[in-house]
Structure 1
Amino acid sequence: MRRQLGADEWIAGARALHGGITAEMRRLTICTRDGGTRDLVLRTYVDAECAEDRLDREARALTDLTGTGVPAPRLVAVDPTAAHGEYPSLLMTHLEGRTVLDEVGVEARVPLLARQLVAIHALRPAARPREYVTRTTADTVVVPRCADAAVWVAAVDVIRRPPPLSAGSFLHRDFQPGNVLFDVPPTWPADARITGVVDWAAASWGPADLDVAHCSTNLALLHGPAWGPRFAEAYEEAGGVLAAAASERLSWQVRDALACSEEVRQVSQPWREAGRPDLTTPVVEGRLDTYLSALMHAPGHGHLTSDVG
């Protein structure tokens, strides 16, 4: 921090930001002798094996996003190997706005999320980021106790096959309501607007369906299973292009839903801390099971056959 501050600047305060799972986030207030202030955000990886990779990716993504119109933080400095501090860290500008996970106004926010994601996928940086990675396998899926076993068996069979081949796009790779900042007028939630998209540590190159599937799963868990398919519809209504074949779309949707099964406790706790005490682990698991069942039973998919159900 000392390397980034002017001679007449000092840190006047620090406040922890909630919601981060893999890193600690702090909002730092910087003051100057003439009475001016500015805010910066410090992301610190205290215990993460992939800290260097994630910080390198985020630094590159924030650089690529400068001047694009996508409301992302501006990179100030990065120390991916902890050469200048105790832990690997990244310093960036602070964006106004807040994450909104409330039920009120979700109908207005979903189209905004879809249009923002279309704009992200339209970006073509001078140098492509690294190819996407999916780590979920048939062996890592965690089946909820309340689950329809036949549905989950059929879903796991879907991801045993190689991922579909498709054209690539610039991906956020964790685009979901928890990483989008909004300005919401208190008296009129329908007039909400997006002020920022944060957490670019997994930025990649790959099929647009990956980002759409991830946001769909998160919306289904936050607001109910019907919001998953609705987001995919909103994305196409905004001009986004998804895989032409229903089986290919299903592959990405199911893969993301199953990936979420491994992180239910990790994601539900920050949601409760952010003002959604109703999202207990059993509730989220139940919604995930219902959403996955809806995907597998959707007309035209035909993945639930008589031998599994």
Structure 2
Amino acid sequence: MSDKLGRNDSCWCGSGRKYKNCHALIEDQMAIYRSKGYEVPHLKLLKTRQQIEGIRESSKLNIALLDYIGEYVVEGISTGELDRLIYEKTRELGGIPATLHYNGYPKSVCISINDVVCHGIPSDRVVLKNGDIVNVDVSTVFNGYFSDSSRMFCIGDVSRKKQRLVEVAKECMELGIEQIKPWGFLGDVGQAVNDHAGKNGYSVVREIGGHGIGLQFHEDLWVSYVSRRGTGMLLVPGLIFTVEPMINMGKADISIDKSDNWTVYTADGMPSAQWEKTVLVTESGYDVLTY
């Protein structure tokens, strides 16, 4: 991006500042870390000002969809009906469901109940019942920009054990986000998540993590939640990724439904919970885009 820029030229990111006072400083810092053997993101993963604003607008729509669908996530409704409602509202608001036909995924939302860890495929045959805990994962494309977030819902009279799992899963996500700072490390996020889950007697899914997002649904950056502090990719201003740890009441092991090659279950049949937000690394900390 910066190969042909003079240091007094306007920065490639669209900030309006001279390159020498903007991304030249960031790129110089990245070069120092790279020379020391740290994992440094490619410049193409750093979003420009225009891209950040586009992703922010997509994120607003994404959250509006979760706000909208929340009142329908009740006992007696089928996940197939929830999927149709999400599709219709997304199109009404000018967006496109990012999951629909993504790598063959057949629906507009992922809805995961009880022991389904993630990627639950909506169906008219699956009806929400009293006592269920449900993750609704909405992913949106708006004007070519991608956003992603999910929330947990408790249906009716949910056991205290399940309620606690849902609460701790949210705390894990929030604690992970709090670790995000410029020139920190992705491993800091995973360490905070894993420590809090373990302290409460839960386990963290190893195989599935967060991901870079914005110009594509899934970008190169991958976020583990069983990582160690001070390891992993360097957190550079302009990175955007999801924080979405999956917390199991029982063991961390998972299995994938061979009949659809999507639905992920806990191997021991115990409940799982997950919350997700999309986060931007800023020059002073972080900005939750799907607030």
TM-score by length of 1: 0.21
TM-score by length of 2: 0.21
* Greater percentage in helix: 1
